[in-house]
Structure formats: structure tokens, C-alpha cells
Structure 1
Amino acid sequence: MSESRKASIKEKVRRISSRPGVYLMKDRFGTVLYVGKAKSLKKRVSTYFQPSRKTQIAQPKIIAMIDLVHDIETIEVKSETEALLLEGKLIKEYRPRYNTDFVDNKQFLLVRVDVSSELPRFRLTRNRREDGARYFGPFAHSGLLRRTLAEMRLQFGILLGDAKPEKLSDGRWRLYDDARAEIYRQTEVVTQEEYHTRVEQACAFLDGKSREWLADLKEEMAKSAADQRFERAAELRDIIAALTRTIEPSRRFTRVPKVVSVKANEAVEALKLALEMSEAPLVMECFDISHISGEHVVASMVRFVGGRPDKQGYRRFRIRSFIGNDDFRAMEEVVGRRYRRLHEEGRPFPDLIVIDGGLGQVRAAQKAFLVLDLIPPTLIGLAKREETVVFPDEREPVQMQRHDPGLQLLQRIRDEAHRFANSFNADLRSKKIRESVLDDFDGLGPVKRRALMEKFRSVEKLKHASLDELKQVEGIGPKTAESLKAFLDRL
């Protein structure tokens, strides 16, 4: 590393805060090399660049990485637990080459069942593919998993990967040889249909085991984080994420027959099929951001129930956390505000959240849940140009057919959110224009104008205010009140 680069990085480190957070090491092309978390960002990051660091580092890969670092980005959070969650999210997003602790859980075993085969077997694998098979896991303890499968073979009479069944002359199957048949609790000679029934029962058992194990893992992760064993909590967090993805049905595209006219409930069912959701999205909420050149930035949320607008559930938001033009930050803010409130009030989340926008906006919405440590419902974006459904994770986008009633339902809720956001924006612009007439009255600075508007809420109400009411506003003296009354009467 050159002396000039050392000096530049040293200056960056000097400006880093001591708050908890996540740091990203980047090379000269801006590629993220490494993502880490820290209780104190300044303390953790500075250790990488101390003169004695190379003699302390046990991993040669980290030594090599330090020589490639050209920039450091930090993200401050409120707690170590929040840093832990954000670290995992960013590692999965950027997949840095020098992060070795979170390699998509390939060290853990999955159970694969090819349900389309003549006699499905329960096999072990380390990679999940989109091949139509069912997958269960990942399971961190391979020994326990193998014992579970052995017990399932006895209990349900299923085939494991090493089985060699024999097809008999009458079309039935002998699952095991005579020497082994005695130890099994199920009949060894079955028809194909009878065996498939066994497979369904075994899959249901394994699915229940996965969900039971998921609950145990979440409890163990929370305890590890509370005990400040953050490395173990991080490992468990990644296993939980992978197990959750495996349990949830994949969102592959399903064609829906062309329907000229469908009712609202039929559109909801069509959307369920198109997204391969386990339950129909009876309650949907959609968000949109509206602004003009970064000014009057607002957001809308519309709510559909049973495929129809629920206008009492509509909400409008003014952006509070920043001033300017940043759709991603605006989306993160309003989604966070909405579902933090629902969570605090103990109210249920919708079945489906729709974001008007592409991958960036959807990931901003996902980040809001991550920061709040909440599990989001199904979350998608509807990108305008090609009307493509996008997801915040690694799933491929879905291109639904134009006549698909599920897509038409998504378009209706998206367009309604857009209309509602634009109407709110127009209201604010009109209000600002009306309020600007006060700029023509001498003697009113920003503080007094703001006090007047907070008191009367609009210029129209201000025009009808009495002289005594004007005098009651802080900063408005008798002479100013009289002059202002005369000015307003001329409008």
C-alpha cells in the first residue's frame, strides 16, 4: 500500500464514529471486499491498519485484503443486535470475496426429494436448485439428520439414497431385500401409488420438523445475542434465513389461463398462483413516492382487501428524516413507520406488500424491516417499464403475461397508490402557493409566518381570523396584527 493511500485511509478512519455499526471495505473499483460489524466502528476498523496488525492476523486472506482496500464505508446503527442483522443482509447482498463466515450455508446438509420420480428417494445434498424437487433444511447437525432419516425409513417405509428397489412382474415394487425387510415397520411390497402416499406423509413430518427446529434456532439466536456471543448469533441468523427460504414456497412463474373478465376474488386467486403463495393475498398494501425535483416529497399507501380498494385504510406520509430527492431513503422511512406502528399496536401485517418501483426501492423497503428486526410478509416490486415483478432476494424476476388477472390487480393497486400520492403532492403544492402570499407582507419573517400557519393551518382560515385572534399568535404585536388584518382583507 502506497504512503499516499495509507494517509488517505488513516484520515478516513480518524473521522469514523465510535457508535455501533457495519463497515464495508472497498477496492479501487468500488467493489465490496469485506463486510464486518462492530460495537465501536472506530475501534474495530482502526485495528486493521495498525503497524502491528499483520503479525496479529491469523488469516493470510485478510492480510491480502488490507493491501487492496481503497475506501471504507460505515453505516451507524443503534445497537449491536441491529449491526448483526444488517451485516448479514449486506453480506448476502454483496457476497464479498473475503467474508468466509456466511457462505450461503453450503456447509449444511439439505434433504432432497424428487417427488416427480417413479419412486422418490430422500437424499442428502449441500446445494438447493430450482429443479422441481422438494428440499428440507438446511440442517447444521449432520449426525442428527442422518439418525432422523434412518428413523423415518423405519417409521414410514421410505427409500433413502442408497436403496435398490426391485420391480416385480405384477408392477408392484419390493423396496428392500428379504434380509432387511424384517426390521421395517411397513410392508415391503407396494404399488407406486401406495409408496407416494408414504412419501407425502414423510415430507409432512420433515416439514414439521423443520418448522419446529426453526423456532428453536430463533430462540437460541436471541439468547446468543443477549449473552453478547455475536459470532454464534450470526451463524444462527444465517441458518435461520436459509431455512426460512427453504420452508417458504419458491416464487416461480405459473401461467394463468386467459380470462377476459374476472371478479376481484378471482384476481386475488390468480395472483396467488402467479407468485406461488401458500395463501391468497386477501390484504394488500402498496407504497409510492411522489416529488417534483426533490421538493414536496411525499408518500402514499393504499390498501386493498379482497381485491378491492379499502379507502379507510389509505395513508399519506410526509418525509421527516431528510430533505432532498432520495426515493430509496423515503421508501425505507415510510415502510418503517407503517409497520413499526402496526407491530407496536399488535395489529396484523398485510398478506402482500407491493412497492411501486424496481429492485432498489424493494430492497429499501426490506431494509426497514431489517432495522426494526421484524419479519416482513411477502414483499414485491412492480417495475413500470416492463411490468416485471421483482423480489428483494436472489429470486429471478417474474414476467407475467399482460392478460393475467393477477398482474392486472397489481397494476390497479400500483396505479391507485400513484394517483393518491400525486393528489397529496398537488394539495401540498397548492397549499404552499397559497401560503406564499404572506411573503408579500412586510414585517413577517420565517418564524412569524410559521407561527401563523401552525395556529390557523391555512391562509383561508387566516383571512377569517379576528384581530384579537391574530394578536394571540406569539410574535405578532398589536401594530403588526392591525397591518396584517388590513392586508388579508384586501386579498
Structure 2
Amino acid sequence: MSLQEKIRDLPHKPGVYLFKDRFNRVIYVGKAVDLHKRVSQYFHPSRRLRADRKLNALVEAAVDLEYYVVQSEAEAVLLEGRLIKEFRPRYNVSFRDDKRFLLVKVDLSEPFPRFQVTRLKKQDNARYFGPFASSSALRTTLNLMKKKFGLRSCTALIPSEKDYKHCLDHIIKNCSAPCIAKISQAEYLERVKMACAFLEGKSKEMIDEIRLKMEEAAQALDFEKAAELRNLLEALEETTRPARRFVKQLPKVSSPLEDLEELQAVLALPQVPHHIECFDISNISSTHKVASMVLFREGKADRSSYRRYRIKTVAGQDDFACMEEVIRRRYKRVLDEGGRLPDLIVVDGGKGQLSSALKALHSLQLNNLCVIGLAKENEEIYREALPDPLVLDKSSKALRLLQRIRDEAHRVANSYHQLLLKKRMRESILDDCPGISENRKMLLIRAFGSIEKIKKSSVEEIAAVKGIGKKLAEQILSFLSSRG
């Protein structure tokens, strides 16, 4: 079934939807009050015209869809957060940190148990309620619940007369005052248990009482009070609504070891590749040619072992020669320092990059290392001495692992290239040139690559750069020539 057909069949119900790319990776998780309306909006022509680049990129990358129907918007929020934490999609920002939803904790083994708000569930003897999607609704409910059942707000484990002196809750009849024995420990514990039943949604008396007061206020034309009671009622109903357990099995991310074992099988490696190194070249211009090496141990990134290289011996834009240089430099140093050689080397590219890597390794007498090239366009895997590339299924765990490693190497190389470019622009003598803004300086450096090349260019060539013009071009050449 195509993506458009899946969208047409979406129900008009609340839920969570997952967009997937052509490699079956989850790239975005969203929630909706109406799944059909919300997801359809992404592909509406008028919205596409108004959308920013990020949204358009998401829509272009989405080729598949998965969804889960829930009972309420609050459940959708909870499930959305859970799935984002699990898949960490590239187009999501919210919930990608470790922030958790609110819980309510009460330890019934305490002499006078307290209700506390927390985000972390511990393995202790306490009871936990939640999670709760709305913090404001939860706090409103707790305040009303404490008042209704006469529960204390003080933080002392065993409240005493000292706490009573600094508290007004008993005076305004919000607390049963166990601190001065107005109520026995057993009686107070019974009130706490009644409050627990209320939080579980087992007691509807308070909700029915507020609904009756709201109706009476409306009949008396006291609409302001009726509105306040309505808001309070909505907060109570949202907090005490029992959360549904999701019985539908959610897709799970495979373990790193499973990915590595599958990679060993498909590449026919002699052992599980516990130590993988991947190389990528960023050769956007001849000014800054850089490379990156990322290391994955046990299927996970070891960022402290990453390396970045500036290409030293290659003239012009030659990816193959750059790959040969960085492979030779990397493993010559490993040999000199007695370091560990990898179980698998991955180079970003096809036959040419693979041949260059092998040439460098053979020059170092490293003839038994496993090396592959991963070509981006069709995700083809090139291997030594085999004429035809290996093409894995897009859902293959081995391929996904290789893609994660390759993409990380690409990110590091590009980041380093951008860093050097920005550093060069900051250090440029163009900073002192009248009429040259930061944006114009950036455009000139990108167009010519260096100050020396700008000096050797004609007025017409400089004026052809966006935002410069002939008059400013003449000023630039005059300024640079005056600086030698």
C-alpha cells in the first residue's frame, strides 16, 4: 500500500503517527487529535507552499507511515514522548532529552505519608501514580485533593508542633493537623488511602460534587464561578482518567550485538566486527580539504577516539588521493604507536575510494584487513576482489548500522570543514575593508576560496559575486593591493 493510500485510510481518531524514509528509518513522530486531518495537512499543496525548508525536507523524505490509535490527546502525548525517546528521529526536537513526565509518589510506610511530585520512578516501597501529561492539571488536582481529604503540605517526615506554628493550613481548614494530634495516625492513613483511590479514578464523589456546583452556578447566572468550576472539573477528569496500557506491540530497536552479528554474516567476516573505523572526505573546495575518522566499539560511537585530518599532499579536488592519504596517515600512526587495528574499515564511496584505501594499506604491508566501500546513491557495498557490489534489503539491521556509522563520519567531516571555513573568514583581512559585511565576506571566500585568489581576480569577476557590484569590487581590489 502506498503512502497516499495509507493517509486516505487514516481514522478520524486521536493517535500518534510515524513517518519513515526509504530505509525504513523513523524520521518523525507526531501526535494528533484527528489522525486523518493532521497527517493529510502535510501533503496539502497550499501548506507546502507556505512551509519552511525543514517541513518540506520531511515531506520529501517520507515514503511510509505507521500509526497508533489512542483514547485521548493526553495518551497521545505520552506515547509520542515514549516513541521519540526510543527512535530519536532526526526531525524531532521535543522529548529527545531525558526529561520525563510527572509522577505522584506516596510512601505508605511513612508515619504520616506525603504526596510528592517527581519525574523519576525508583525501585522502593512507595506507590507511584501516572505518568501525567499535563503538569498544570496535576497540580490543580493535588491542591484540591489535599484540601478535600485534609492532607498535610509540610515536608517534615513526622510533623510536630514546631511545624504547626508556621502553618496556616489548619486555620483555613485545609489540613486535618496530625502534627498536634487533631487526628490519629490510623485515621490520617485512612484519608491517604482514600486519596490514592481518587487518583486511581476509583472515587467519583468529588467530581460529581463539583459538577453539581457548576450546574447550580450556571442556573444562578454566576457564569464566572461556573467557568472556574468547569476548568477545575476538566483538570480533575484529565488527571484521574485511568491511563490505558498499550497492548499493541511497538517496534523495537535491535541491540548493537544483533546488528554486529548480522553484519558479520552478510560480509562473511572472520569474526564479529567489535571495532569499526569509518572514513569520509569533505572536499567541497580546494581551499579546505579535510577528512574524518569515526570509531564504533560494540556498535556504539566512541567519540573520544574520533580523528579529524587536514589533507596535506593533494592538489586540487581529488577524493581518491585524499582517501589514500588519510588512510596511510591513520594506520602508519597506529603501527608506530602499537595501537589496535580495526576488525572492519568502512570508506564512504564506491570502487574508487575502496581502491585508494587498499593501495594505502598495502603500502603499509597491511594486507589482511577487512575493508568495504559504502556508496551513498544506492547504498551499494563494494568489497575487495569482488566485481559486483552487495545490495542489502533496506530493512537490514546490518545496512542500518553501516548507514549510522557512515552518516556520523560524514557529519564530523562536514562540521570540521565548516569550522575551518568560519575560522578563515574570521581571520580574513577583509574584516577591515570598508563596505564588507560578514555576509559579503562569506560570499567572497566561498566564491574564490582565499584572499590570494581574490587579489588575482578582475573587477568583473569580483563584481559578479552576489551583493558586491562594480564599485565595491574596485574598492576591494584597491584595499587588498594596499595591504600587499
Normalised by the size of structure 1, how large is the TM-score? 0.36
